[in-house]
Structure 1
Amino acid sequence: MRFSPGETVVRRYFRGGYVTMAQAARVVSDDDSHLLLWVPRGSDFACRWHADGTRLREAPLPVIADAPVRTTQWVDTDVLILVPPEADHSVWWFYRDGRFTHWYANLEAPSVRWRGPGSAGLDTVDHVLDLVVRPDLAWEWKDEEEFRASYGPWGYWDERTARRIRAAGDALVTRIEAGAFPFDGVWRTPPSSVGPVPRLPRDERLWLDRPAPRSLAA
Structure 2
Amino acid sequence: IIGRPGRGHSIWLFWRDGSFAGWYVNLEDPWRPSRSGFDTEDHTLDLWVESDGSWRWKDEDELAVAVEVGFFTAEQAASFRAEGERVIAEWPFPTGWENWQPDPSWPVPSLSADWEA
> Shorter-chain-normalised TM-score: which range?
0.7 to 0.9
Which 4+ runs in 1 deviate beyond 3 A?
none
Deviations 1:152-199 (A, max 9, x none): 4x22111111111110011112123xxxx2x03622212333832222
Counterpart of 1:98 in structure 2 is 18
Aligned with residue 187 of structure 1, among 97, 100, 109: 97
Aligned with residue 110 of structure 1, among 13, 24, 30: 30
SS at match of 1:172: helix
User: Contact 1:129–1:144 at 8 Å: present in 2 too?
Assistant: yes
Q: CA RMSD in A?
A: 1.8
SS at match of 1:192: coil
Aligned with residue 41 of structure 2, among 125, 134, 137: 125
1:207 partner amino acid: W
User: 1: distance between equivalents of 2:14 and 2:66?
Assistant: 26
TM-score by length of 1: 0.49
Unpaired runs of at least 5, structure 1: 1-80, 209-218
What aligned pairs does 1:149-168 form with structure 2 within 5 A after superposition?
149-152=65-68, 154-168=69-83
Unpaired runs of at least 5, structure 2: none
SS at match of 1:149: helix
Aligned with residue 142 of structure 1, among 49, 58, 66: 58
SS at match of 1:150: helix
User: 1: distance between equivalents of 2:107 and 2:37?
Assistant: 17
Deviations 1:76-126 (A, max 9, x none): xxxxx10111110000110123321111101011111122xxxx2211111
Counterpart of 1:207 in structure 2 is 115
User: 2: distance between equivalents of 1:150 and 1:102?
Assistant: 27
Q: 1:99 to 1:164 in 2, by over 3 A?
A: same
SS at match of 2:41: strand
Counterpart of 2:8 in structure 1 is 88
SS at match of 1:151: helix
Say how many residue pairs are matched: 115
User: 1: distance between equivalents of 2:30 and 2:111?
Assistant: 22
